[in-house]
Amino acid sequence: MFYATFWALVLGFSISGAIQAFGSRSSIARQLGDHKPITVTKASFFGAISSSCSYAASSAAKSLFNKGADFTTAMIFMFASTNLVVELGLVLWVLLGWQFALAEFIGGAIMIVLLKLLLPRFATVPQNKQSSSVDGSPAVRKSTWHDAAGFTIGDIKMIRYELLIGFLVAGSADRLVPLSWWHALFLQGHGLLATLENAFIAPVIACISFVCSVGNIPLGAGLWNAGISFGGTISFIFADLLSLPLILIYRKYYGVKFTYRLVAVFWFTMSVAGLITEAIFKALNILPTHSTKMFMATMDRFGNNRTTWLNAIGLLISILLIALYATRDKSDDSPFATDPICGMQVNKADAIHTYKYEGHNYYFCSPGCLDSFSKNPTLR
């Protein structure tokens, strides 16, 4: 699974680093500073041409929010970047057929509409304001690719443990848990009750069984062939943003209490989108039929294939990023600092969370890191 998603991780985190380094706070605020329909459309488009990796998408969305984007719009960007991308549609087409590829885009659009309606009412946070609590920040200078590399490596360092947990859980679920065990969790032959149960329990299973939007498609195909409903399969595939490691990341980004509400909205949105998509396909009489035949993709095998070449490009980009990161400006006069708790790079001029200790200024990516440091400054 790591081999299958390596290139997407590199691309996604690189995009996130570039957004943070080169994205002007004021220009992003102008583009994505509210959640009006036209703004939501822009966010959906920007997300669709961005990363398909759930971890990188969550980081990019947080970057946009910190730069001034509306929270609802940033979350819509995150959903679009994992559910409205062409490569996922191609994998779905190969494994499950054209109906699932089409459902990805129809259901993705439904989720965006639901998020637009639900997030402002049930799960939104105030827009960040620039902090002036720490004096002596250097004058703003033009960002470089060294700075972008710093943000990219910092983001990876921040969630490295969550990534490790995600891959271990995904690999274990794929190789050690019998498919019959998953099959037993889903009702069949009970009409509407089974349809509802499949759609709402699928995101719960996805929470503990895969690493990201690319990695869960083969398991989703297995569940479909084992008898889960069409809507349940779609909900499972959509639940790439509810994996347990990602929920831990949301806790770091937005706090524990708010994460509960955010997860509830995500879960409801993914499940209802699966149900509505199934209803649309049923009305159009294009629901696919279950089959015992499943075409296994070669995306996780070494050879002369698309994934191998993309991973080779990703490896070259990684080497370049590491070289740029190693040669970045590390002096006290640098406009960027490293969060002493999680390792993330922070722009001093835009820092929201700061702390002064023994005459030295420290900068943090989130209130959680600031709180941890303030309780024990020796952690630095």
**Positive or negative: CA dihedral 360, 365, 367, 372:** negative
Cα(5)–Cα(211) distance, rounded to whole angstroms? 9
CB-based contact 16:53 (threshold 8 Å)? no
**Positive or negative: CA dihedral 5, 292, 227, 270:** positive
Give the pLDDT mean for 135-148. Answer: 67
Domain boundaries, the chain: 2-332
Cα(108)–Cα(123) distance, rounded to whole angstroms? 19
For 287, residues 6+ apart whose C-beta sits below 8 A from its C-beta are 99, 230, 278, 281
Mean pLDDT, all residues of the chain: 79
Query: Mind listing the pLDDT tens digit for each residue in 227-251?
Result: 788 999 999 989 888 888 788 888 8
pTM over cut 0.75: no
Report which residue type is found at 65: F
Query: Mind listing the pLDDT tens digit for each residue in 75-111?
Result: 999 999 888 877 677 767 767 788 998 999 999 999 9
Beta strand pairing status for 360-364 and 353-357? Answer: antiparallel
Cα(367)–Cα(361) distance, rounded to whole angstroms? 16
Dihedral, 73, 77, 83, 89 alpha carbons, nearest 10: 130
